[in-house]
């Protein structure tokens, strides 16, 4: 029951004010370069003026990076507290991005985009295949026929290997201790997360749930939503995933139909 509720719940509300401090080591600029390389490999480059949809944008780090590169960006996220941080950052940096609160499995936007991205295992937070299929269908509807959808997932291997069981360095601004427990039958991991904010002494605990999807499941759900996989990569590399890849990137595109040659 807790897991079912979690699928719809904002699992990031408590974390939002500390998310960017926690992510300080994440090379978001390099991620944007990598996404651009994948789009180029699929022969549909991201350029100035490209309309880009950043799904599960969180605090908008990737969205704002592409806005700085001249893209017209919309960021969408379930968590209003995460979007508050994104809006603050956009204002601080003088960047324009439309930031929309919505659920991946239940959104429709008034315009279409050249490309959509969804990064940092955000799709693993959709805990039921039906929700993921609906999210894919919504992405399909949001893309122009020549669009690309680039996303990453934590693999079954990553969750089976309990890669979420982690402890931060003791000198981190936001210290954490995470312990994950993977249920192989349900393909869902439960991560008990303990945080300590060094500056304020604030301490809090939250629980996150993620579901692992096999490559075959992802392809099938994408297909049912009218999207086909063009390319897959071991994360941040330009080589194919292997059985021990913990994160895989997918480059998918709307399936061409008779009406859309």
Ligand X SMILES: C[S@@+](CC[C@H](N)C(=O)[O-])C[C@H]1O[C@@H](n2cnc3c(N)ncnc32)[C@H](O)[C@@H]1O
- List residues near ligand X by CB under 6 A: 12, 23, 56-58, 61-62, 77-79, 82, 103-105, 119-120, 122, 125-126
Least distance CB 34 / ligand X (angstroms): 12
79 vs 245, beta carbon nearer ligand X: 79
Residue least distant from ligand X (Cβ): 58
Least distance CB 119 / ligand X (angstroms): 4
- Integer Cα distance of 148 and 45 in angstroms: 10
Judge contact between 96 and 74, C-beta under 8 A: no
2 vs 258, beta carbon nearer ligand X: 2
Residue (of 150, 60, 56) closest to 97 by Cα position: 60
51 vs 211, beta carbon nearer ligand X: 211
98 vs 103, beta carbon nearer ligand X: 103
36 vs 79, beta carbon nearer ligand X: 79
For strands 98-101 and 72-77, give the pairing.
parallel
Least distance CB 240 / ligand X (angstroms): 23
Least distance CB 60 / ligand X (angstroms): 8
100 vs 255, beta carbon nearer ligand X: 100
Least distance CB 154 / ligand X (angstroms): 10
- Integer Cα distance of 251 and 241 in angstroms: 13
Least distance CB 112 / ligand X (angstroms): 19
């Amino acid at each position: 029951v807790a897991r079912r509720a979690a699928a719809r719940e904002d699992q990031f509300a408590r974390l939002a004010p500390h998310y960017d401090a926690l992510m300080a080591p994440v090379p978001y600029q390099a991620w944007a370069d990598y996404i651009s390389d994948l789009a180029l490999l699929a022969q549909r480059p991201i350029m100035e003026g490209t309309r880009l949809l950043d799904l599960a944008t969180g605090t908008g780090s990737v969205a704002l990076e592409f806005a700085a590169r001249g893209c017209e960006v919309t960021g969408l996220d379930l968590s209003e507290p995460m979007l508050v941080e994104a809006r603050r950052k956009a204002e601080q940096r003088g960047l324009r991005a439309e930031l929309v609160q919505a659920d991946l499995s239940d959104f429709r936007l008034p315009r279409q985009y050249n490309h959509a991205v969804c990064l940092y295992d955000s799709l693993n937070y959709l805990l039921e295949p039906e929700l993921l299929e609906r999210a894919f269908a919504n992405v399909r509807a949001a893309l122009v026929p020549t669009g690309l959808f680039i996303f990453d997932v934590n693999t079954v291997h990553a969750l089976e290997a309990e890669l979420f069981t982690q402890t931060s360095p003791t000198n981190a601004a936001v210290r954490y201790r995470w312990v994950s427990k993977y249920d192989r039958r349900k393909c869902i991991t439960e991560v008990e997360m303990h945080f300590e904010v060094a500056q304020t002494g604030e301490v809090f605990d939250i629980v996150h749930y993620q579901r692992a999807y096999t490559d075959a499941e992802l392809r099938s759900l994408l297909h049912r939503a009218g999207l086909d996989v063009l390319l897959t990569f071991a994360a941040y590399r330009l080589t194919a995933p292997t059985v021990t890849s913990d994160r895989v990137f997918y480059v998918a595109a709307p399936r061409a139909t008779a009406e859309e040659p």
